[in-house]
Every structure is written in structure tokens, then in C-alpha cells.
Amino acid sequence: MKVEFWLLDASYDVVRGAPEVRLWGIDREGRRVVILDRSFRPYIYVLPREGEEERVAERIARYSNKYNILGVEIVDKKYFGRPVKAIKVTLTSPRTVPQFREAVAKIEGVKEVLEADIRFYMRYMIDNDVYPCGWHEVEVEEVRNESGWRVDAVYLAKGRPQYLGSSSPPELKVYAFDIECYNPFGEPNPERDPVIVIAAARSDGEVKLFTADGKDDRMAIKRFAEDLVSFDPDVVIGYNSNRFDWPYLLARCRVHRIRLDVSRGGGEPAPSVYGHYSVVGRANVDLYDFAEEIGEVKVKTLENVADYLGVKKKSERVLIEGARIHEYWDDPAKRPILLQYARDDVESTYGLGEKFLPFAIQLANIVGLTLDQVGAASVGYRVEWHLMRAAYKFGELIPNRVERPYEKYRGAIVLRPRPGVHENIAVLDFSSMYPNLMIKYNISPDTYVPPDVPVSPDEVYVAPEVGHRFRKSPPGFYKRVLERLLEARRRIREQMKGLDPESPEYRVLDERQKALKVIANATYGYCGWVGARWYKREVAEATTAWGRRVITETIRMARELGLTVIYGDTDSIFVKYVPDKVEKLIRIINKRLDLDIKVDKIYKKVFFTEAKKRYCGLLEDGRVDVVGLEAVRGDWAEIAKEVQERVIEIVLREGDVTKAVDYVRGVIDDLRAGKIPLEKLIIWKTLSKSLEDYEVEAAHVVAARRLIEAGYRVGKGEKIGFVICKGAGKL
């Protein structure tokens, strides 16, 4: 029989010496299922020296018994665009791959061992065109659920899954949770301090609070686990849950000698790649990973992000200073306030899930990472998994990841702004400038021509300033990938034109086109990332060089038309808005540079400091846009942000500089008179490394040492609060 299912999670295990891929999903009837595929085997590629293919293959075959080799064959592949002969070696079990890789690398005549570091179930998904968060059809037979997995049916695959597409996902059961911990000594310690409240919000509308019995949290944790398993969610969401909630709960379970068995496959949440916790058969999504990408919110607390996205306004919820949680638990009169705080937190978390999950689902489907991994993975890894899938389809061997030192190269052009207040300013923005430049000039690691290689000038593009050369044909790896991404986005946006913006189809397509844009734009950054498999400094350097020329040419053309240029940054310029001249500039750029540029925003007023990337503007809709100033920075005291925000409001909305100066003088007088609450003077900074690794005694490092002396538990990743006071010394 055939089953159609939407892939939620993937895992594997070795059963009786052979690998078993497990595809956890939801079928068309809404049943939770797992499909077992026992037909796939691991393999690696060995790149021999030219002319030694047969001899190396024979030497590899001698390891057949020791490593259970199933096959050795010489195949035609491409490596950085060049045709090569590679030896494909198929093994019985993924567990033997690391040792086999080391052994083969020592064989005489072997240049490289490739694709031995790809996780087995990811290899399976790449080779079989299986996509997370997408629909598939597969021939199966139902088998007994001998392992007691928490699913409605277990199937054994009888053929290869066929990908059906990424149309609307099934109705997902979502479970949000958030914990509050007892913290009389500041930062809670799981070896000592109990979890006093676990709040849960479910997609059936129910909100539950599991509370400790005084300082005993054993039953609260057990009831939480039972509720999660009983509800049986597909997606479990938290905010900072991979960094705090899950490890804290697991540590408390160890204290009580109980198990947090909440996965569909049986077992506890376990640390996995990219720092996330894997809950087998479910998608554990830490929403903080997506909040980190909201540049407009610098201090990414749950309440700040929920407020910014309109999920729950700070004025409409309970706010408690983190260091005082224990006080509210200990005081019977205040405890109801703490419980409402916990409820507000988990409702905010659930609301953020509704905002972030549609995008996360489309992103996971495009790059091929499961939903629990795609948020936790850095942008570079997201791009790389997308490239790895493309490489397989193009017949390209995937390079190994190599440790290499950071190489500096000149970045984008940023003009020094004209300081002061300017009125009626248009921001002209190039649409996907870097991806389009990489396509236009065929910039790719496999098209790069080293300086010592002779080539006809007619056959290459030469980057300005840096002189790097790239072959005009055939199309490079990056060009082919980017063309597919941008074309897919263009087709989707065409589809959207005929749909109701309120329809589910429109919303799914809108999230998908956003995800496609994110990956396309991130590909440029990836090529300059030293951790990239397809790293080539010259690619990044040439792309920014062409980008600088585009911005320089744009500024020159704008000035020729009589437009006043106020500022320029990376892929945009700020000009005095004269509608007919701006429209003419757009037409000229589209024709001469063959690039799309549009009016991104118009400021009624914009205020520039003397520094680059630091300005604020009043938009036509009345919103104030702040870039790079203290008001949006996380490491400034609340009073500094308040004052700057008010000054910006007075200058931009009222146009009264004298009033702004008087306001600042008044705040300074209040500060000297001791009228400003101490809490507003606290500066919060994060310890980015262990205390012993700091060579310079910064203020927050000194404060952290004093906290330790006072008995507090402080370590890497902690936020340290301190106040600057008048005194004799520097610190």
C-alpha cells in the first residue's frame, strides 16, 4: 500500500548490524507515523591521484572483511567544476565510516577522502530527495510497533519515497513551555535550586501551570512530562529553551533520579548538533534562534520581542525583575503575581511560535535541515546544506570542511554621512545586489582562474580593483544555485498575485519567498566564511569589489542628475527625494547596470551623526527608525536609552533642538540629585568567554569576579549588571 506523509523529523539507528532510517511524520488522515527504511547504506568517495584509480581501488578492496565493504566502484564526478575519477566505497554500517576514513586516507595514491562527515540520515535525505516539512509518498507495509513508539502506525518502506512538494502543512499540535526557577543567590543553580513553576500553553487552547511543593519540584516536573506526552505535540517550543530550560530540567531530573522521557522514540531530550536538544519524533524549536535575527530588537528578552511583534504588549502583562523571582515565590501575597508572570511568559512564547513557525517550516524545507535544527544552525550551515543538496544533483563532490585562519578582505563601501538633520530623504535599495552580481559575473569557486593560469581576456570577467578573474562559461556552481533560488522566488511571487492575501495559500507562499530571499542573500556571506566547504576568499573579495563599483557608479549617476547624496551603505544610497529625478535614476540604473533598484523607504526627516551606520529617521507612516544608536543597543543603561529616544522624538517630531538640550540638562540634574532609580543606571553585558580567558579587566569582568567572591555562580554566557559610580580609580 502507499502512504502520503509530511516529514517532521528524521533519525536512524543500527539494528542487528544494519542501519535503519526513521522518518517521523504525519499522514493525510492526521495520524502520527514513522516510516522505517532499511535499504540504504553509507558510502564515501576516495579521490586518487590521476592514473592510479584502479590500483587504489584494489587496495581499498583488501579492507572488505575488516570494514564490511559492500562495493567499490570507479565513477565520473566533478570536483570544483573539474571532471575527476573518484572511487565510491559502500559500507554496511555508518558506525564503521570514521575508522574506515582514517585507514583509507593512509593508502598510497589517495589524495582526499570526501563526504565521510555527512550524517547518515542527512545523506539518506539528500540522495533520496526527501525534504523536511514536505509531503512524500512511499510504498509501505505496516509492521508491529515492537519498540512501543508513541505513534499511531509503524511502516516499513518497500520503495524510495517520492517528494510531492511543500504545500500547506498538516494541522500541527504545538506545545509551548517556560520555566521559572528559585534564585535566592542570583543565577539559579540546578544542583541546588528547584524549578518552582513550569508553564505550558497548548494548541488546543489550554494553559497549565505545574508548581513545586514549596522547594520540592519532583512532582511538578513529572506532571509536566506526563502532560506533554499525553498531549503528544508535533512541535515543542520554548524561548531560550536549548540554552536554559531543557538543560536545567534534565539536571533537576538527575538530582531526583527520574527520567524526562518525552520523545516519540522513547528517551530524554539529548544535546545534538548546532547546540539544540533533539526530542526524537518531535520538533523541538527554540524561538530565540529566530528572534536573534530581528535587528530592530537589540535586547532580545521574551517580553521585548513579544512587545515588538505585537504578541503581548509589555504594558498589558506582569513584569518581574529576574533576580527577584524567589521573593515572589516565598511571599504568599506575591505568589499569584509570579504565577500570572509565568502564564504571560508562556502565552508570549506560544504567540511568538505562531509568528516564527510558518517561516521556519519553509526555511527547513528549502535548505533540507529538520525543523529543530534549522533555527539552531548558523546562517552559514543553512546555506551549506542547501549547497550540498545542489551539489548532489549537479554531480559535484562535496569538499571537506577545513580549519583555516581568517583572511581579511575589503568589504562594502560605506560613505561618511552628512551630519545633521535632513528632510525628505529617499533610500534607494538594490534588490538582492550580491546574488545578482554573482550571477552576472559568474563568480564561483569553480570558475575562478588563478593568476598563474593563462587565459584569453575574452573568456573571463575581471573584478575591479582586485583583478580576480572568473570564466564566463560554463555556468559556475554558485550561479546555478542562485539562479534556481531567484527563479523559484520569482515564480512564487507571480503565483501570489492571483491570491487573496488573507488566504492560507498566500501566507504559505509569502513565508516561502521570504525564506528563498534569505538563503540567496546569505550565499554571498557564506563564500567569505572561513568555515565554508566551498570557501574561496577571492570569490568574496571580487563580489564586494563589484558591489563597491555599483554603488560608486550609482552615486555618480545620481549627482549627474542633480540629486544630493546624503549617505551610502553597502547596497543602498540616501538621496534628497525629488520624485521625477529619482524615477529617472532608477530607469538609468536598470538599463546601464542591469540591476534592479527601488525606493525602499522615504524619511520625512533623518538625523545623521558623524559616524557611519548611526542614524535615526522619521518615516512617512510616523514610525521612528533607529540604526546603530544607543537606543537600540543592549549594552547601555536604560536611562541612556530613554534619554536618547526622547531626544530623537523631540528633534525629529517637534524639530526643537533647544528643547532637546534643555531636556538632557534636566535629566543630568536629576541624576546628580539622586532622583533616578538605581535600576535605570544598570549596564548589562554578557560574559562571552570564561573569566580566566579575559586578558583585559573590563567593568563587567570585575563585577563578575566580585559576584563570585560574594558566593554567586557566574560563568560564560551570563549577563552581568553593574553601575558606574564616581570614584578615584578607573574601576
DSSP helix/strand/coil, 471: strand
Query: Within 10 Å of residue 500's Cβ, how many Cβ atoms?
Result: 8
Burial class (CB in 10 A: 0-12, 13-18, 19+), 598: exposed
Look at residue 173 in the predicted model and tell me its pLDDT.
Answer: 98
- What are the chain's domains? 2-39+129-165 (2.40.50.730), 44-115 (3.30.70), 174-373 (3.30.420.10), 420-615 (3.90.1600.10), 682-722 (3.40.1820.20)
Burial class (CB in 10 A: 0-12, 13-18, 19+), 83: exposed
Is the per-residue pLDDT at 631 higher than 60? no
Is the per-residue pLDDT at 196 higher than 90? yes
pLDDT digits (tens, 9 = 90+) for 353-369: 999 999 999 999 999 99
Is the per-residue pLDDT at 632 higher than 70? no
Phi, then psi, of 305 in degrees rounded to 5: -70, -45
pLDDT band at 645 (very low <50, low <70, confident <90, very high): confident
Residue 502 near residue 510 (C-beta atoms within 8 A): no
pLDDT digits (tens, 9 = 90+) for 22-62: 999 999 999 999 999 999 999 999 999 999 999 999 999 99
Q: Which residue has the higher pLDDT, 401 or 236?
A: 236
pLDDT digits (tens, 9 = 90+) for 74-91: 999 999 999 999 999 999
Rounded to whole angstroms, the Cα distance separating 276 from 283 reads 11
pLDDT digits (tens, 9 = 90+) for 432-475: 899 999 999 999 999 999 999 999 999 999 999 999 999 999 99
State pTM to two decimals.
0.89
Look at residue 726 in the predicted model and tell me its pLDDT.
Answer: 80
Is the per-residue pLDDT at 630 higher than 60? no
pLDDT band at 412 (very low <50, low <70, confident <90, very high): confident
Look at residue 494 in the predicted model and tell me its pLDDT.
Answer: 92
DSSP secondary structure letter of residue 414: B
Residue 72 near residue 87 (C-beta atoms within 8 A): yes
Is the per-residue pLDDT at 299 higher than 90? no
Is the per-residue pLDDT at 339 higher than 90? yes
Q: Which residue has the higher pLDDT, 701 or 102?
A: 102
Q: For 275-299, what is the mean pLDDT? A: 90
Look at residue 731 in the predicted model and tell me its pLDDT.
Answer: 62
DSSP helix/strand/coil, 66: helix
Residue 526 near residue 367 (C-beta atoms within 8 A): no
Look at residue 527 in the predicted model and tell me its pLDDT.
Answer: 87
Task: Among 3-7, 294-298, 525-529, 682-686, name the one with the lowest average pLDDT.
Answer: 294-298
The three grid cell numbers given for residue 32, joined into one nine-digit string: 502520527
Task: Among 97-111, 403-417, 599-613, name the one with the lowest average pLDDT.
Answer: 403-417
The three grid cell numbers given for residue 728, joined into one nine-digit string: 578615584
pLDDT digits (tens, 9 = 90+) for 492-542: 999 999 889 888 889 889 999 999 999 999 998 898 888 899 999 999 999
